[in-house]
């Protein structure tokens, strides 16, 4: 049975962090929030989804941030995202160059690490 794709990425957050999650994922990263299904809404957390990306934040009573493991998110307009993050006081960290990409690392309000990657245009484009 082959794996054909990833439906979503689930990250943990502490209870009561929904507004901080919205400020980061929706406002800084620009990922729209989508309502959780009624059967799951009572658990807390929130979901952020576009046509191509789904990040779900779930409440974990024993929350511990993922400070090394991380999703690598392809973006467009990396400079604008970095600017929005910095205006919100979010630290942005560069890392070693990766051929074909501009990339940075940020942490969500709970300390979960995310890599933001934008493909570089070829010189002839």
Dump pLDDT digits (tens) for 62-97: 999 999 999 999 999 999 999 999 999 999 999 888
CA 14/CA 112 separation, integer angstroms: 11
Residues 6+ apart with CB under 8 A from 102: 78, 117, 118, 120
DSSP state of 83: H
- Which pTM value belongs to this model? 0.90
Nearest to 95 by CA among 72, 77, 66: 72
Domains of the chain as residue ranges with CATH: 9-119 (3.10.180.10)
pLDDT digits (tens, 9 = 90+) for 105-116: 999 999 999 999
Residue 33 pLDDT more than 80? yes
pLDDT of residue 122: 65
């Amino acid at each position: 049975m082959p794996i054909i794709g990833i439906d979503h990425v689930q990250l943990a957050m502490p209870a009561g962090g929904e507004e901080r999650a919205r400020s980061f994922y929706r406002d800084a990263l620009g990922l729209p929030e989508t309502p959780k299904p009624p059967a799951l809404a009572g658990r807390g957390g929130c979901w952020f989804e576009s046509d191509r990306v789904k990040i779900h934040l779930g409440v974990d009573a024993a929350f511990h941030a993922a400070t090394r493991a991380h999703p690598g998110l392809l973006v467009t307009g990396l400079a604008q995202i970095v600017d929005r993050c910095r205006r919100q006081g979010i630290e942005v960290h560069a890392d070693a160059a990766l051929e074909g990409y501009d990339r940075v690392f940020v942490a969500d309000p709970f300390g979960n690490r995310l890599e933001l990657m934008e493909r570089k245009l070829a010189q002839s484009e």
